[in-house]
Amino acid sequence: MKKKFAVIVLLLTCHLAMAQGFELRLLNHWDNPDGTVERGYAGRSIWKWEEIPTNKSPMPAQLKARYEEYGRINQTYGINGTVLNNVNAKPLALSTDMLKKTAKIADVLRPYGIKVYLSVNFASPKALGDLDTADPLDKKVQQWWEKKVKEIYRYIPDFGGFLVKANSEGEPGPMDYGRTHVDGANMLAAALQPHGGIVMWRAFVYSAKGGDRANQAYEEFMPFDGQFADNVIIQIKNGPIDFQPREAVSPLFFGLKKTKMMVEFQITQEYTGESIHTCFLAPMWHEFFQQIQTPGEVCNLVGIAGVANIGDSPNWTANDLAMANWYAFGRLANDPWVSSRTIAEDFLRTYYTDDPRFVRPITQLLLKSREAIVDYMMPLGLHHIFAGGHHYGPEPWCAPAGWREDWLPRFYHRADSIGIGFNRSDHNEPCLAGEQGSNNVSQYPEPLHILYNNVNTCPENLLLWFHHVSWDYTMNNGLSLWDNLCYTYDRGVHQAEEFVETWKSVKPYVEHEQYERQLQRFQRQAKDAQWWRDACLLYFQQFSHRPLPPDSPAPHYTLKELMDYRLNMDNYTAADPARLP
């Protein structure tokens, strides 16, 4: 990729009434102290903690240059903050030595208008050996945090604040002591308030108690609306499940009226093909902004966070075209209504060439890429049917012994002899399968509640998100649900194959190594699309008991081959031709 980092003039006019762009425009790095990156697909962490001195010695020149480049890029994109470490935070992040190292990073990024933030482990007072409790209402715990915050600001006078994942997926939090999210967030907020710091308290929570995971964040946070301190912001994923290729918007964005919020997007492609598949995410994020505007403006949305797709790969993101998502995040953070086409064209002209013979076809490719991924992975509202652990390939049958039910794909697709899909209708809406709905639709305001609740008015791209639908249900195009599902998977495969040919057509306009690197990825993507299509249709066919449509291509693989296959991510590369049977 050409290292062309000239400042791009960004249009900062925001058409949301809530702000002229977002006040907080942050990257969230899920980077660990040992250099690994959770859900990272571009190498190891850029934060080389072992190389950063704790004394007055300067940062190594090569490392400083890399961080300066990082700062310039973010400044160009309009990003004004970065959370350096994983939300599954290690207490080590608050040790004095680590704070001294963090201060050196902050010194490098400060000239570029980038504030530094830290994810914190809620149990740090106990985990660092100072106290025997982390109870937020304990005076000694409150004093510990006040002292620690003063230490942070002594090293980093413009420190931004804390990001907190609490009582979620095993992380410690105030509920460990019978307290609430308000108790925990406001305790930290009180320590930060004198210094101007903020608390970003994540709403990604779900328990092992069962029920619909899509309901739980709303149920857990709505009782506390208006009780959070003024410097607390609830950070909410764009959808209520977990960064799926398509989700309904989280109902919390509509529900919280008296609480500051920020949206969390995932720039790193955990569920959209990692660093292999090209998936331009600007259309997905536009979809979010359009949805939250449907029933009225969400005026207390003050910030935007993006889980970074950055690593120590020479081109930052491993997949050259994945850089477009970092770029798009920054553009939309400053103007949520700038078009996806404009973002794609500006990116390609800046990082490749302004030759229209390249820009036009690759712009079209980028604009089609997200919908193609939805088509060949999980169309019509299907979700969370990925392989366990790495989330790369399809495993709608995945059911390891000992796993919680809401970790399993069958919990979400619910395929049976009657139909497929998760019934989230209210209890008054008849369900085709006879199963009572989870009532998730009632968390949405009108007119969304009525729209989503009726199987005949629900948008078809969310149909199986909100309803368990008969295999013979007639879609808007006159096809049965089963036939329509087959044709949609076919369309996704065809689109992925077309991407290969489109990329080949622009070979004269791309540097040789860059061209070959990206070609391998497109070829891998096309093969993976076929993998997804065959795995899902052959598996669901066991329940539908219906043949593929006559003009639908025969599968490349058998279901047994696919169910027996085990992807080894340790040896996985885009160029591996033998990865699939």
Q: At what angle do helices 96-109 and 61-77 cross, to 10 degrees?
A: 60
Residue type, 538: L
Q: Is 196 left (phi over 0), alpha (psi -120 to 50) or beta?
A: left
Q: Which two tokens stand for residue 302?
A: 């003050």
* Residue 563: φ, ψ to 5°: -75, -25
Look at strands 81-83 and 24-28 and give their pairing. Answer: parallel
Distance separating alpha carbons of residues 397 and 408, to the nearest angstrom: 8
In the residue annotation, 169 being an active-site residue is answered as yes
Of 425, 37, 400, 406, whose CA–CA distance to 205 is shortest?
A: 406
Catalytic residue among 242, 247, 346, 375: 242
Q: Which two tokens stand for residue 434?
A: 């006879």
* Residue 117: φ, ψ to 5°: -130, 165
Contacts of 508 by beta carbon, 8 Å cutoff, 6+ apart: none
118: DSSP letter: E
CA dihedral 46, 51, 56, 62 (to 10 degrees): -60
In the residue annotation, 242 being an active-site residue is answered as yes
CA distances from 275 to 241, 311, 502 (A): 22, 11, 19
- Sequence-distant contacts of 408-414: CB under 8 A, at least 24 apart: 409/384, 409/385, 411/384, 412/241, 412/382, 412/383, 412/384, 412/385, 413/382, 413/385, 413/464, 413/540, 414/468
Q: Which two tokens stand for residue 261?
A: 């919020």
Of 367, 350, 351, 359, whose CA–CA distance to 9 is shortest?
A: 350
Distance separating alpha carbons of residues 119 and 165, to the nearest angstrom: 8
Give yes or no for a cis peptide into 447 (omega within 30° of 0): yes
193: DSSP letter: G
b/e code 434-469 from CB counts within 10 Å (16+ = b): eeebbbbbbbbeeebbebbbebeebebbbbbbbbbb
- Sequence-distant contacts of 566-574: CB under 8 A, at least 24 apart: 567/387, 567/390, 567/392, 567/393, 569/390, 569/392, 572/392, 574/275, 574/276, 574/520, 574/521, 574/523, 574/524
Catalytic residue among 51, 97, 151, 169: 169
Q: Is 37 left (phi over 0), alpha (psi -120 to 50) or beta?
A: beta
Distance separating alpha carbons of residues 428 and 327, to the nearest angstrom: 45
Distance separating alpha carbons of residues 205 and 214, to the nearest angstrom: 10
Look at strands 419-420 and 469-470 and give their pairing. Answer: antiparallel
Contacts of 50 by beta carbon, 8 Å cutoff, 6+ apart: 35
Q: Annotated active-site positions, please?
A: 169, 242, 270
